[in-house]
A and B are shown apart, each in its own frame.
Chain A
């Protein structure tokens, strides 16, 4: 039984346009594990991820209620220092979004805004992060090229490196391989298995097969409601709720 890294308690979220994206969701995110959020599009997975690192602050939100405890602190608290929170909980988006800067500066960006200016430190941390993301071998001789000059798969690993450079405690990935080829997808999946011992992973895969492949724990979302949660090995094989079963067997969504 692994311990809880993030504890979501009776969390609800409504956007300004009236959409109730999440309804009274309670969920434990397990440390040292891959936590999968799955379900049809519009279920609220992205909204939950963006709530956990307070990126939701950038959207038009009408109301949130409940608690999200990270290391025992409610991150929804107005006083929460969000920049520090976002450094500890990194995020990778569905499409690779390199900043309009060089490969090097993409990885260095988070360190620089955190106040790191020592060139030697920056270089060693950028190199380390690129190596962790298995990108170093491919880019070490063109670190000054624009981030968009590399392939889509490389760009997504760049985005991963950019997050790893900040030495986060949690990495959230929102459909991270939806725009990638199977080879890169497999690489990223095995990478997640590798890091989960030291970094908690939360992932919202873009399809069922990836969900089933990587999940240590899985949670099924349907229209803002948490329908079912369980160990990955059980949930996909033997779902308890009819709706989960229908989705897993491909009857809707």
Chain B
């Protein structure tokens, strides 16, 4: 009797669970809808604009015709420039915090500072960059100043993800390395860092992806409205996709819609490709992980 009633209870619970899961699936589908909708809308309207010419030629006719080459190249330069500064510095800081820093008030303060930095609105970074790099260091409105500004914005992400990626590598590997006569740095370099690398790379890509898509930090530091040629030195200002999109959507009267959609689609693909590669690296690393 009691056996039977508990049997029914289990069935009821299973049914309830089933309803719960279905509900969660439906809700998550609905939250996805707007995103999918936006992507679909941009792809549908932007795809016809994307031609080889559009990607590889200079804008003409006050940007109302021609291509967006300088904006694409500019965003590439800025992303690379950001990586050059933020990756070595961020990874080194992450290694220091995870492996070497003592656990005390000072390092706790540093961690809190890093977390707070990650939450600062990007326009504040832009103004800081203007004051620090453009004016004080006299770098002018330039790729260099903009890259440095984006680096400062990206650093917290890279530092935190590097630290986190190192921390999840089990302590026992450090002990074994030491027991086999490895110095602390040898253990880190040969075992710990390689194991953390997928996680670090994911953080780096996500950080750079944000840098590539931001307008505010480059607005006062290196982005320019229009450039009749490609930048030829790090001290040149540059066009960039996000700022270009802002300009052609709001500042140029009589701007053909398809050029706007095309530009947005290019930026979207740029960012999505980075995002996808980060996800792929992470999934593949999870599968191949030996711990």
Identify the A interface with B (CB < 8 A): 53, 55, 57-58, 82-84, 86-87, 90-91, 93, 97-101, 109-110, 112-114, 146-148, 162-163, 166
Contacts and interface: CB of A to CB of B under 8 A. Distances in A.
The 9 closest A-B pairs by CB, nearest first: A110-B180, A100-B290, A87-B181, A113-B182, A83-B181, A91-B179, A86-B181, A113-B186, A148-B290
A166 B181 CA distance: 9
Contacts of A93: 172, 175-176, 179
B163 interface: no
Contacts of B290: 98, 100, 146-148
Instruction: State the main secondary structure of chain A at its contact with B.
Output: helix
A221 B191 CA distance: 35
B291 A100 contact: yes
B178 to A, nearest CB: 6
A84 B181 contact: yes
A162 B173 CA distance: 14
B183 interface: yes
Given A97-B172, A146-B290, A113 B183 contact: yes
A55 B174 CA distance: 10
A99 B178 contact: no
5 contacts: A86-B180, A93-B179, A100-B173, A100-B289, A146-B290
Contacts of B178: 55, 57-58, 82, 86
B173 A97 contact: yes
B173 to A, nearest CB: 6
B195 interface: yes
Interface of B: 172-183, 186, 190-191, 194-195, 289-291
A90 B186 CA distance: 18
A113 B173 contact: no
Contact of B179 (A86, A112, A146): A86
Given A58-B174, A113-B186, A99 B191 contact: yes
Given A109-B182, A146-B290, A148-B290, A100 B195 contact: yes
A99 B181 contact: no
B278 to A, nearest CB: 22
A55 B181 contact: no
Contact of A109 (B175, B183, B190): B190
Nearest to A172: B179
A99 B177 contact: yes
A248 to B, nearest CB: 31
A58 B173 CA distance: 12
Contacts of A87: 180-181
Contacts of B190: 109, 112-113
Contacts of A148: 290-291
B179 A90 contact: yes
B172 to A, nearest CB: 5
Contacts of B179: 53, 55, 86, 90-91, 93
User: Which of B174, B181, B195, B291 gathers the greatest number of chain A CB atoms within 10 Å?
Assistant: B181
A168 to B, nearest CB: 10
Contacts of A84: 181
Given A57-B178, A58-B178, A93-B175, 15 more contacts: A55-B175, A58-B174, A58-B175, A83-B181, A83-B183, A84-B181, A90-B179, A93-B172, A98-B290, A99-B176, A100-B289, A110-B181, A113-B180, A162-B180, A166-B181
